[in-house]
Amino acid sequence: MQIIKLSTKCITVATGALALVALLSVPVTTRILAQEGNPIEVAYIDTHGHIELAFEEGGVEAALATMDAEGIQQMLIMPVPLGQEADEDDVAGIAAQYPDRFAFLGGGWTLNSKIQDAPDPVSPEALASFESAALEILRQGAIGFGEMVGEHFSLRRGHPYISAQPDHPLFLRLADIAARYGVPIDLHMEALTENTPRDSLCEITTVCWTHPRETNPNPATFPENITALETLLSHNRRARIVWVHAGWDNTDQRTVKLMRRLLEDHPNLYMNIKFRRSLTNRPLDGAGQLRSGWLDLIRSFPDRFTIGTDAKYPADQGEDWIPLHRELLNQLPPDLARKVGYLNAIRIYNLNQRLICHRPGTRAAQTIWVDASSLNAHLAHGDSVGPCG
């Protein structure tokens, strides 16, 4: 089943002024099934998933089986933050093998590592090395940068604590690169509106879990980070920042009120929705009913939300929280369900276009967006994927 009908537009990336196509004018078809008691069912796009080949076999098969069972047309996969260096190549390989089902974001290993290892102050060499790594990721065919980390709690064994303020100079540079080429940044960041003692969160999540041999345990206090997020967002308005995991809140601070305020103030802020079992600030209540505050929020910003399950395959296959994402879509009015389910994902992640270098190595070399259906024709006359050198 193919949901995206392609046009033949060819868009030039002008220096300093990226021309954006009105993606929603592109014809889109999808499977929409009427079911009893289930008024509309949309084949959705999961904008945030992981396939971890380094640990276990069968991740691709598990992901495809879940996608078919859940009506997930396409999944955007990316290396988990500081997971395994090999993940960067794995996700590219999977997307190349199944171009209709997977696309990938890159940098979860490379770019987070460079941020964590950067000298303070950041040297010109560190900036240049970071930028060339980011461009290399786009030349691999990545559709964005992810999964990047602002604040990542350690919640179980082997799950590291990672922290970097989103206004770090390398994050600001990444925003400039993302803006220049029109690709999004996928950012994992626990919401911290104030410095927060770890022990105050023991009741709502496993953040107080400790293991004597853990290499990177949680600190006693987590740093406030909303100020730095807003600096990142306002640094370059052309950079689309996807603050992932809305609805999965480990601080009880990612409230509807906070998200509404940030979405109002920052037109380049997007979010994807993730369910786990915790009810803290999530869209569905304990009875599975859509909370009115969330419906109002999505209704107020209908173009800013997508679904991003954050499922890790093969481990998460069959988890009971996976169908909750569809339950949310089924409770949205049809117009919002289509936007949150797939239309927003197509636009935010440029899913029907490809960034290429047209006539590389010549004086006429030009970085352009082309329609995905014309990619092979461009490659056949010597063009290359990603920005020109």
Q: Which two tokens stand for residue 72?
A: 């997930």
**47 or 331: whose CB is closer to Zn ion?**
47
**88 or 147: whose CB is closer to Zn ion?**
147
- Per DSSP, the chain holds a count of helices (H) and strands (E) of 12, 20
190 cis-preceded (ω within 30 degrees of 0): no
| Beta-sheet pairing, 196-197 with 185-189 | unpaired
- In the complex, minimum distance from the CB of residue 108 to Zn ion, in angstroms, rounded to a whole number: 8
Over 193-231, what HEC string results? Answer: CCCEEHHHHCCCCHHHCCCCCCCCCCCCEECCCHHHHHH
Q: Round to whole Å and give the CA distance between 325 and 327.
A: 5
Beta carbons within 10 angstroms of residue 164's beta carbon? 20
Q: Which residue is nearest to Zn ion (CB)?
A: 188
- In the complex, minimum distance from the CB of residue 83 to Zn ion, in angstroms, rounded to a whole number: 9
| Angle value at C-alpha 109, between 250 and 346, nearest 5 degrees | 75
- In the complex, minimum distance from the CB of residue 80 to Zn ion, in angstroms, rounded to a whole number: 6
- In the complex, minimum distance from the CB of residue 50 to Zn ion, in angstroms, rounded to a whole number: 6
**47 or 367: whose CB is closer to Zn ion?**
47
What contacts 112, CB < 8 A, 6 or more positions away? Answer: 81, 82, 148, 149, 162, 164
**170 or 311: whose CB is closer to Zn ion?**
311
**307 or 370: whose CB is closer to Zn ion?**
307
- In the complex, minimum distance from the CB of residue 93 to Zn ion, in angstroms, rounded to a whole number: 19
Beta carbons within 10 angstroms of residue 12's beta carbon? 13
**90 or 310: whose CB is closer to Zn ion?**
310
Q: Round to whole Å and give the CA distance between 35 and 27.
A: 25
Contact 59, 33 (CB under 8 A): no
The contact set with Zn ion (CB under 5 A) reads 147, 188, 310
Closest CA to 370 of 10, 6, 3: 10
Q: Round to whole Å and give the CA distance between 42 and 368.
A: 32
Residue with tokens 């010549």: 362
- In the complex, minimum distance from the CB of residue 162 to Zn ion, in angstroms, rounded to a whole number: 10
- In the complex, minimum distance from the CB of residue 246 to Zn ion, in angstroms, rounded to a whole number: 12
**91 or 355: whose CB is closer to Zn ion?**
91
**248 or 294: whose CB is closer to Zn ion?**
248
- In the complex, minimum distance from the CB of residue 35 to Zn ion, in angstroms, rounded to a whole number: 30
